Structure 1
Amino acid sequence: MASKLLDRLKRTLFKEGEACSKDPNDVTEDSFPESSELEDDTECVSERLGGTLCFDGENTLDLEEQGEASGPDSDSEFLGESVEDGFSSTETSPVGPSPGGSSLLTRQLQESWRNLRRRNVPEKLLFEVTDASVVQESSSKYVLYTIHVIQSGMFDKSPAVITRRYSDFERLHNRLRRRHGDDMERVYFPRKKLRKNFVAETIAKRSRAFEQYLTHLHSLAELQRSPTFLEFFYLGDLQAGQMLMRVGRYQEALGPLLNSLRLQEKLGCEQHGKQQPCQQQRTHWLFTLLALVTCFQELEQLGEAQEHCDRALRDLAPSAEALLQHHLHPLLIPLLQTNVRLSWKISKDKRRWEVLLQEIQNSGVDVGNQPSLKEYLIKEALVETEGDSKVKAKADNTT
C-alpha cells in the first residue's frame, strides 16, 4: 500500500508544478532529494530484531535531536487537546470512505478472506493508510493520514476510518511511554525531521511506519487493552457526536457516533469493558449505544433506535441475585421504559422487557422519576485526566 501511496504522491507533486517545468527525460534522483537519505521502500522502514520494531535503525532518517521542529516545513502543533476548547478535526473521522477506497477491498482479497475463514485462521486487525494529504491551515502546515481499521479473516463490509496527523501519533506514543514504560521500552517511534517533511518519499515512508507502529502496539496484550491506546481511535468521534447532539444536530451526529461504535467493536471494547481496570471502556460503549438510540429516536428512525436500545439492554440486564439486592445500573430503568415504548410503536415483541420492568417495580424500586437518557447524554462530561480521557458518569457504578 505504501508503494502505491508513494506513486500517487509523486504524481500529485508533479501536477502541482514541482516537476512540471522539467522535461520528463530530465527527471533524476534529485527530483526527490530525500531518496538518498531514506531506506529503500522494499526493505520497509522497520526491522524486527529480537522482537523489536524499529523505525529509526542504524541509518537515521535525517532526524532532529532537539525536540519538535517549528516553522513552515514542520508538522507543528495546531489544535489543543481539550474538548472544552473545541474538538480537533484530526481526532474525528470522515463519515464516508476516502477517495479511491481501501486497496484491500478487492475481489481477490475477498476470495482470500473466504479461504482463510474456511481454514479457521484467527482474525486480527489491519491498519492501512489509504490516503495522506498535505493540509495548510493559516500558518500551520501538516500531513493528514487517513487510516482504515479492517478486520481480517473475513470480508469486512464496514471498515472504520480515522484521520490523524503526526502530532496525534506522537502524543499517543508519549502517553503510552508514561503509563506503560516496560511494554514501550522496545517500541520505537519515527521521529520528526528538521526539513523535507512534505516530500513524497517521506510521507510514504512515514505512512508505512504508522501502519507498522499501530500493528505492533495492537500485538502487545497489555497495550491492546490500554484505555490510552483504545481511546486514540474512537474517543474523538464520541466527543464530536456529543457536541453535535448538544446543539440538536442529530443527523450530523450519527456519522461520528456510528464510526465510533465500529471502532469500539473492532477493538473489542465491549469485552475489555467487562474486565478490570477497563470499566471506562464499558461506560464509553454504553454511552455510544445510548447516543445512537437518542439520535435515531429524534430522527424518527424507530427501528434503528430500538435495535441499539435492545443491544444496550442485553449488556445491562441484571442477574436474579443483583435484582434481589437492587444492584441495578442507574440507566437500566429509563432504558427499559424507552425500549418498551419503541417496541410498541414498531409492533415488536416487548414482553421480555415488560416482565423485567414489572419485576423491578415489584421488588420495591421506584420506577418513576427516572433520569432522561437525552439529559444524561448531553450533560455527561467527557474529560481528560492526565492525558487519558475518562467519562465520569453515574453509569460507572451500580446502586
Structure 2
Amino acid sequence: MASKLLDRLKRTLFKDGVATAELSGTEDFPESSELDDDTDCISSRLSGTLSFEGEKGLETEDPGEASDLDSDSDFLGESTENGMCSTDASPVGPPVSQSLLTRQLQDSWRSSRCRTVVEKLVFEVTDASVVQEGTSKYVLYTIHVIRSGAFDKTPAIITRRYTDFERLHGRLRRCYADEMEGVSFPRKKLRRNFVAETIAKRSRAFEQYLTHLHSLGELRRARIFLEFFYLGDLRMGQNLLRAGQYQEALGSLLNALRLQEKLSGQQQHHLQQPQRGHWFFTLSALAACFQELDQLEEAQENCERALQDLAPSQDTAHPKQFHPAFIPLLQANVRLSWKISKDKRRWEALLQEMRDSGVDIGNQPSLKEYLVKEVLEDSDGGSRHKAKEELA
C-alpha cells in the first residue's frame, strides 16, 4: 500500500512540473505587456532604446506600484531603483551608462515643466451700443484687453468711439509714417453707420487694427498708443480723488493699472517718461484712496510696490534727482507700516539717509496733496483741459 501511494504521489508531482514548465514563459513576467508599452513610450521621447539591468529588482517589484505611473517624476524614481538605462540607438559606439539615462530623463522632465504657452495681448470687442446725446449719435465700442496663454482673471476694459480710433490713427501716421504705411484703418461711411452689419464688421476691424499695431515693436512702445488705453481712466481717477469720491476713483485707477501692466508686459522698469510717471502716479493714487477708505493693508501694499520700483534708481547724493512723489510715498509707507504692525526699518533708514544728505523732509506735501496738484500730460504735452478742448 505504501509503495502504491508513493508511486501515485510521484506521478502527480511529475504532471505538475510539466505544467509549470509549459506555463513558465508567461508566469515569470506577468506584467511584460505593460513594461513593453512603457519602454516604447520612453524610447520615442528620448530617441533611443531602453534596456533593463539588475533583474532581481524587477522580479521583487510590487506589481501594483509598477502599473501606477502617473507622472514623469514618479517614473524617474522607479527607473533609478530598478536599474533602467539607455543605450545609443546606432549600432556603433559603447552603451550609455545608467547615470546618463537618469540625467536625460531629468532634463526631459525639467524642459517639459519649464515649457510655457506664449502669451500675447488680445483685443476683443465685447459690446457695441448706439448712444444718443442730444443731436449727436454714435456707436460706443467696449473692448476687453486680455492676456492669452493663461486664464486672465482681470481683463482690462476700455470704451471708445470711431472718432477716438480715427484720432489715434491720425496721430500715429504723423509721428510714425514709415511704421504706419502698411496699417489699414476702417473707412468712415456716410450711410448705414448704425445697422448691425456695419457695426459687426467695424468691431472686427478695430480688433484687427489694435492687434496689428501691437504686433509692431515701435508702435507697441509708442506713447501715443499706450496713452490711448489708460490715460482717460487715470485722469478720471484723479478727478474723483479730488472730489473726495475715493470708492469711485478706485474703479478707474485699478483699470488704468491693469491696462498699464498688460501693455507693458510687466516691464515697468523700462518705461520712459511720461509713462513711468503715470505708473507711479497710479500706484500712489491707489494708496491714497485705500488709505482714505481705511483699507490700510492695501494702501501700504501699493505704497511699497511703488517704492520698490522707484527707490533703487535714487541717488541720495543728488537730492534734486528724486521723483517728486518719492518722499510723500516714503513718509506714507512708514506711517502705514506702523499702523498695520509691519516692519518699517528699511524705509525709516532710507528716510534718515535722505535727511542726513540735506533733504528737507519736514517741508514736503502729503501724498494726497501731491496727487491733487499733479498735472497729467499726454504725449503732446497737453493737460486735461487741452484734451477736453480736442474732444469738444
Pick the TM interval, shorter chain: 0.5 to 0.7
Q: In the alignment, what sits opposite 2:234?
A: 238
Whether 1:256 aligns to 2:255 is: no
Quote how far apart the aligned CAs of 1:122 are. Answer: 2.0
Contact residue 273 and residue 281 of structure 1 kept, 8 A: no
* 1:365 and 2:359 are equivalent in the alignment: yes
Q: 1:324 to 1:341 in 2, by over 3 A?
A: same
Q: Secondary structure at the match of 1:133?
A: strand
Q: Which one is further off, 322-331 or 126-135?
A: 322-331
* Conserved? CA contact 1:117–1:154, under 8 Å: no
Residue 381 of structure 1: aligned partner: 375
Aligned to 2:126: 130
Say yes or no: does 1:182 pair with 2:175.
no
Q: Which amino acid letter does the alignment assign opposite residue 213 of structure 2?
A: L
Quote the residue 1:160 is aligned against: 156
Matching of residues 1-399 of structure 1 within 5 Å: 119-268=115-264, 271=267, 274-275=270-271, 278-318=272-312, 322-326=315-319, 327-384=321-378, 386=380
SS in 2 for 1:123: coil
Equivalent residue letter for 2:199: I
Question: 1:324: how far off?
Answer: 3.1
Please give the TM-score of this superposition, normalised by the length of structure 1: 0.65
1:279-316, Cα deviation, whole Å (9 max, x unpaired)? 10000001111111111111111111101000010011
CA contact (8 A) 2:325 2:370 kept: no
- Deviation string 1:228-261 (CA, Å, 9 cap, x unpaired) is 0000000000111111111111111111011000
Say which SS state the counterpart of residue 184 (structure 1) adopts: coil
Pair 229,272 (structure 1): closer, same or farther in 2 beyond 3 Å: farther
- 1:117 to 1:157, Cα distance in 2 relative to 1, 3 A: farther
Counterpart secondary structure, 1:324: coil
Q: Shift of residue 352 of structure 1? A: 1.2
What CA distance in whole angstroms lies between the structure 2 residues aligned with 1:163 and 1:195?
23
Question: SS at 1:232's partner residue?
Answer: helix
Give ranges in structure 1 of 5+ residues lacking alignment: 1-115, 392-399
Q: Which amino acid aligns with 1:264?
A: Q
Q: Say if 1:345 and 1:286 are closer, same or farther in 2 by CA, change over 3 A.
A: same
Q: Could you tell me which amino acid in structure 1 is paired with residue 349 of structure 2?
A: V
Query: Given residue 362 of structure 2, which amino acid in structure 1 is its aligned partner?
Result: G
Contact 1:270 1:285 in 2 (8 A): no
Q: CA deviation at 1:167?
A: 0.8
Distance 1:221 1:247 in 2: 39
Q: What is the CA deviation profile of residues 313-333 of structure 1, one whole-angstrom value per residue up to 9, with x for unaligned ones?
A: 00111458x223434333222
Q: Which has the larger radius of gyration?
A: 2
Assess, with a 3 A threshold, how the Cα gap between structure 1 residues 224 and 335 changes in structure 2: closer, same or farther.
Answer: same
SS of alignment partner, residue 270 of structure 2: coil
Q: Distance in 2 between matches of 1:332 and 1:150?
A: 31
Change (3 A) 1:319 1:181: closer
Size of the aligned set, in residue pairs, is 272
Instruction: Determine helix, strand or coil for the equivalent of 2:341.
Output: coil
| Cα deviation 1:359-383 (Å, max 9, x = unaligned) | 2222332221112221121112224
TM-score scaled by structure 2? 0.66
Q: Which runs of 5+ in 2 are unaligned?
A: 1-111, 385-392
Kept in 2: contact 1:331–1:371 (CA 8 A): no
Percent identity, aligned pairs only, is 71
Instruction: Supply the distance in 2 between the matched residues of 1:173 and 1:280 (Cα, whole angstroms).
Output: 21
Answer 1 or 2: higher relative contact order, Cα 8 Å, separation at least 6.
Answer: 1
Deviation at 1:118, TM superposition (A): 6.7
Cα distance 1:239–1:117, how it changes in 2: closer, same or farther (>3 A)?
farther
Amino acid in the other structure paired with 1:216: H
For residues 216 and 385 of structure 1, what CA distance do their matches in structure 2 show? 21
**Residues 285 and 371 in structure 2, CA contact (< 8 A), matched pair in contact too:** yes
The RMSD of aligned alpha carbons is 2.1
Q: Contact 1:132/1:145 (CA < 8 Å) preserved in 2?
A: yes
